[in-house]
Amino acid sequence: MSKCDTGNVADLHASPPRRLPGLLGRYRGRLLWLTVIALLVIVQWPLLKAMVYNVLQIPPPPDGIFWRTDYSAALAEAKQSDKALLLGFTAGWCAPCQIMKREVWPDEDVRRLVNRSFIPVLMDVDEIDGGRAAQRYAVSSIPTILIVGGDGQVLRGGQLMSRSEMLTFLKKAVAG
């Protein structure tokens, strides 16, 4: 005889069987591992994107920025002009640098602002001139972006930035 056949109203309002906690308990280990993996993917997303770019050998798009590579010549140019240097410290092996080369520097608004308001210098820390400049400015991680006056003094500094963060960074440097 089923509970409904007994006519006992109290049995009709009894709580349903507790299956969910049993399922969670049974799959708790798997859920924990999935959560850990998801968090690692989120935290390591820039590195994973850069790895995909490198594995698939996807070259960065042209950014249209008139990058200089000679720090001394660019500093002399800054002294003669009314523009500050935009120093971009990078390396070929740097995953976040590769992201910026593909997602930040090619942006039209970033390109326009950089070419109009700065003397851009791309410094590869693995090359002699780039390594010396990195030591001079105590660059401890890359990418590092510095706005430097014609006297060689740092006016602003930053690191890995999105397109919108870079635009804000550059506009503040121009304004102030």
Burial 138-151 (b: 16+ CB within 10 A, else e): ebeebbbbbbbebe
Q: Report the candidate in 114, 119, 111 with the shortest Cα–Cα distance to residue 85.
A: 119
- DSSP annotation of 64 reads -
What integer pLDDT is reported at residue 176 of this predicted model?
76
Beta-carbon neighbour count of residue 120 at 10 Å?
Answer: 20
Show the domains of the chain with their CATH numbers: 10-43 (no CATH), 71-175 (3.40.30.10)
Q: Each residue of 141-172: pLDDT tens digit?
A: 999 999 999 999 999 999 999 999 999 999 99
C-beta of residue 118 within 8 angstroms of C-beta of residue 85: yes
Sorted by sequence, the CB contacts under 8 Å of residue 32 that are 6+ apart come out as none
Q: Each residue of 38-60: pLDDT tens digit?
A: 777 666 666 777 777 777 777 77
Q: How far apart are the first and last CA of the chain?
A: 84
Average pLDDT over residues 97-103: 88
| Rounded Cα distance, 139 and 134, in Å | 5
Whole-structure pTM value: 0.71
